[in-house]
């Protein structure tokens, strides 16, 4: 694609129509809020509030805003890969209209995330609650879409080994991060890089293409560059474009490496079926597996299933049945006693199979950055024999 890592000047609806279909992995959109402000806002000390009254946030009525929103959402859906997702951020003024149109156009909502601002602007008139949050909608391209990127392990690492929730406590963009030109804010709704870091790190991979159809002063591009993602920005305002180009040009990310940008271990590891443990002799038909508190005991059948309490199923489905749960991770639920009598989760045996696979088939289990580096080495060094490309291990 010729537009990678560039800002395209123009109306987003027009520009989106020129981009190749199914060419983008992730979209982050921060569209106009349509605030419908009436007059100036003043603080109690009679200083004027620097409100969002820019021309790009002016629409004659809700119908015109809806037509505009539907047009750019259609354009985004056309360029989004069938494995891609889109994030849209907004306030109570517009996000519910956007969500309705997303669903009407065939998108499927995965989460709504609440960005809780640690330092929101007060409601100076005292006539309603302080508006202390914005809402992000995360959606995949269609309800039938089976695959999309969600780096669960990355989100846990960023959150001190706790599963990340859908309420994100992040400060507004202030201080040194807030870009100013001649003492004035370069953009009235500049988003904090911390917000984009979480979005991009959680739902894309290094080398992916991230598109922002309302690029503004380039926060999406700045974070994408730091995280070794390609980016495309669409922006009408030449003043914003100038600021964004200078901002992104000043960023020099550390080189791509497994040490600094580790591949999420769970999603990128080759899938190991439970039957492989039987085939490799790590378990035998007739062995018994125990639940964590040992209240259930299951026998291993020769065809790789478990039986317990008159029920039968896979390691996952049987665990769910016995506990009346909708799902269960059998690798961490079922346990066994190893040769030293240590009570271990079944995943311990799965990791042994993976370790053996790494030794015998290193090319299959190499991380994407390592495979990319080897591929570049083959291309740039003609004296090296070219190997058949390895089969990409299935992801989740």
pLDDT at 292 over 70: yes
Q: Does the structure show a pLDDT above 50 at 54? A: yes
**Structure confidence at residue 186 (pLDDT):** 79
HSE value, Cβ hemisphere, 13 Å, CA-based, for 234: 23
pLDDT one-digit tens code per residue, 205-238: 999 999 999 999 999 999 999 999 999 999 999 9
Mean pLDDT, residues 277-285: 94
Q: What is the pLDDT of residue 124?
A: 67
**295 pLDDT higher than 80:** yes
Q: Which pLDDT does position 363 carry in this prediction? A: 52
CA distances (Å), 6 to each of 119, 193, 210, in order?
33, 19, 11
**What predicted TM-score, i.e. pTM, was given to this entire model?**
0.65
Q: Is 383 a residue whose pLDDT tops 60? A: no
Q: Which residues contact 138 (CB under 8 A, 6 or more apart)?
A: 85, 86, 87, 109, 110, 111, 112, 113, 203
Taking the C-alpha atoms of residue 256 and residue 372, their distance in angstroms, rounded to an integer, is: 10
Distance CA(116)–CA(169), nearest Å, equals 5
15 pLDDT higher than 90:
yes
Give the pLDDT score at 381: 34
Distance CA 311, CA 321 (A): 8
Read off the pLDDT of residues 58-112 as tens digits, 9 standing for 90 and up: 667 888 899 999 999 999 999 999 999 999 999 998 999 999 999 999 999 999 9
Looking at the structure, give the CATH architecture of the domain made up of residues 6-36+52-253.
Answer: 3-Layer(aba) Sandwich (3.40)
Give the residue range(s) of CATH 3.40.50.150 domains in the chain: 6-36+52-253
């Amino acid at each position: 694609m010729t537009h990678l890592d560039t800002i395209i000047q123009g109306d987003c609806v027009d520009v989106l129509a020129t981009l190749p279909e199914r060419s983008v992995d992730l979209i982050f959109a921060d569209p106009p809020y349509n605030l419908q402000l009436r007059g100036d806002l003043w603080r109690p000390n009679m200083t004027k509030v620097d409100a969002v009254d820019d021309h790009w946030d002016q629409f004659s009525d809700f119908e015109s805003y809806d037509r505009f929103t539907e047009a750019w959402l259609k354009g985004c859906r056309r360029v989004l890969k069938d494995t891609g997702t889109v994030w849209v951020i907004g306030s109570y003024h517009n996000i519910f209209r956007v969500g309705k149109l997303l669903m009407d156009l065939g998108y499927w909502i995965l989460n709504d995330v609440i960005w809780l601002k640690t330092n929101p602007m007060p409601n100076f008139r005292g006539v309603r609650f302080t508006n202390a949050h914005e809402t992000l909608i995360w959606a995949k391209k269609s309800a039938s879409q089976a695959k999309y990127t969600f780096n669960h392990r990355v989100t846990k690492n960023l959150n001190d080994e706790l599963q990340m929730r859908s309420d994100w406590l992040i400060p507004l963009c202030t201080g040194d991060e807030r870009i100013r030109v001649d003492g004035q804010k370069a953009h009235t709704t500049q988003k904090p890089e911390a917000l984009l870091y979480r979005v991009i790190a959680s739902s894309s991979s290094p080398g992916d293409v991230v598109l922002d159809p309302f690029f503004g002063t380039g926060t999406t591009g700045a974070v994408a560059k730091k995280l070794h993602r390609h980016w495309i920005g669409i922006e009408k305002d030449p003043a914003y474009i100038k600021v964004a180009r200078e901002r992104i040009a000043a960023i020099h990310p550390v080189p791509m490496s497994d040490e600094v940008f580790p591949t999420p271990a769970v999603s990128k590891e080759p899938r190991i079926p439970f039957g492989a443990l039987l085939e490799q002799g790590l378990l035998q038909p007739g062995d018994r597996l125990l639940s964590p508190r040992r209240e259930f005991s299951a026998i291993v059948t020769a065809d790789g299933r478990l039986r317990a309490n008159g029920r039968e199923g896979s390691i996952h489905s049987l665990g769910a049945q016995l506990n009346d749960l909708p799902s269960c991770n059998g690798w961490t639920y079922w346990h066994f006693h190893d040769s030293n009598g240590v009570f271990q989760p079944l995943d311990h045996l799965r990791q042994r199979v993976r370790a053996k696979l790494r030794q015998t088939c290193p090319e299959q289990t190499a991380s994407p950055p390592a495979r990319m580096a080897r591929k570049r080495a083959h291309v740039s060094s003609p004296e090296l024999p070219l190997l058949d490309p390895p089969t990409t291990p299935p992801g989740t």
